[in-house]
Copies of this chain bind each other. A is one copy, B any other.
Amino acid sequence: MSGIPSAGPQPADLWPEVQPDAARRLMLAGVESFAQRGYHATTTRDIAATAGMSPAALYVHFPSKAALLFAISRSGHEQVLSLTQQAVAEAEDPAAAIRDLVERFTAWHARRHTIARVVQYELEALPEQEYAVVASLRRDIERLVRDVVERGVAAGLFTVGDPHTAARAVLSLGVDVARWYTDRTRLGPEELAREYGELVLRMLGATTGDGA
């Protein structure tokens, strides 16, 4: 998969750009802990221990436990937004855009289910200002999907009663993957993604079935 030795379910190449190596290890440890127990049930001692440091080391790199969550959450949301934008930009028509979007969105939530869990389910633990930043990113993602669905309906490619609700359903399907997907799930991220792409296109009443 990755090319670098690695081993274990933890994606080692997640934030290659995050500078002091210890800061990256803390983010990794934070993701692991927040995903497993939730933000509020995780102690700074948990995170530090997972990262192999003393509790005080966290505060050398992050001003607070909440700031660590924010770094993880913002980065994750930016990844999802960018992946969504790419799908829409590269597709030739709304149907292809939706298929590509759902496939990438689903595969990301399955492959990165640990981060995805934090991104999707721990955002309400963020302080007000930080919450506003990720809420804005989330609105961007939602608007993007809604626009594609509406363009598809306008072009006569989709037949749905309420485009707004249909767009919600499309995102719901992908988001919820983060809740139930584990490393032991029978289908791999790409297989699941392809399956979900099919399901969503049918759900939207896409006239184009398969084709190239």
Q: Check A195–B38 contact: CB distance below 8 A.
A: no
User: A166-206: which have CB < 8 Å to B?
Assistant: 166, 168-169, 172-173, 175-177, 179-180, 186-187, 192, 195-196, 198-200, 202-205
Q: Check B195–A199 contact: CB distance below 8 A.
A: no
Bound together, the chains give a CA A196 to CA B40 distance in angstroms of 34
Give chain B residues whose Cβ lies under 8 Å from the Cβ of A160: 199
State the copy count for this chain: 2
Bound together, the chains give a CA A27 to CA B41 distance in angstroms of 22
B40, B177, B179, B186: the one contacting A40 at CB < 8 Å is B40
Known contacts: A41-B40, A202-B205. The answer to whether A192 contacts B176 by CB under 8 A is no
Give chain B residues whose Cβ lies under 8 Å from the Cβ of A172: 172-173, 176-177, 179-180
Give chain B residues whose Cβ lies under 8 Å from the Cβ of A161: 195, 198
Closest 5 CB pairs of A and B: A40-B40, A172-B176, A203-B203, A40-B41, A176-B176
Give chain B residues whose Cβ lies under 8 Å from the Cβ of A179: 172, 175
A155 at the interface (CB under 8 A from B): no
Q: 30 A–B contact pairs at CB < 8 A? A: A37-B124, A38-B38, A38-B40, A38-B124, A38-B125, A121-B121, A161-B195, A161-B198, A162-B187, A162-B195, A165-B187, A165-B192, A165-B195, A165-B199, A168-B180, A169-B196, A172-B172, A172-B176, A172-B179, A172-B180, A173-B173, A175-B176, A175-B179, A199-B203, A200-B203, A202-B202, A202-B203, A202-B204, A202-B205, A203-B203
